[in-house]
Amino acid sequence: MDVKYFARKPCFPIILNINGCLHYAMQGNDIIKILSCNKLEKDETVDIIDFTNEGWIFYNDLCIISPLTLEKTYTKKQLINLFNNRKNKNDQCNDLVYEDFKNKTFDKLFLEIINRLKYEKL
C-alpha cells in the first residue's frame, strides 16, 4: 500500500480517527503501518487532524489523503472531546479537562494528546 497526497501533505505529526479509535503518525510511513493494522472497508474514510489543527480525510478506495473535507479546522474543545470519547481508551489514562488547556496553544494540547497515546501503547 502506498499513500498519496492530494495537492499537499499535512503538517506532521497527525492524529487519525479510525472508527472512533485515535492513532498518531509522526511521519508518512507511520500512516501505512496504522492503516494496515486497521482493516477498513473499501469505501471507508478516516478523519485526520494535523499539527496546525487542519482537518484532512483519507479515502481508502483511492488511498489518498486530501485537505478537501467538511471539517476544515478543529478547536481545542473538539480535540479534547475526541480524545476523551475514543474507543481505544486505556483505563489507566485520565481524561483531559478543557480548563487545563484553555490558556494554552493548540499545539501544546496536540502534543499532550500524542504523548498520552504513546503512553497507552506501552
Say what the pLDDT of residue 31 is.
94
Please list the rounded mean pLDDT of every run of 10 residues in the chain (122 residues): 91 96 94 90 95 96 94 94 92 87 94 92 66
The shares of helix, strand and coil residues in the chain, as percent rounded to the nearest 5, are 30, 25, 45
* pLDDT of 119: 85
Residue 122: its pLDDT value, please?
61
Cα separation, 117 vs 111, whole angstroms: 10
Distance CA 70, CA 1 (A): 26
105 contacts: CB under 8 Å, gap ≥ 6: none
**What pLDDT does 43 receive?**
92
CA 2 from chain centre, in angstroms, equals 19
Please choose, from the candidates 18, 97, 100, 26, the residue with its C-alpha nearest in 3D space to the C-alpha of residue 60.
Answer: 18
pTM beyond 0.75:
yes
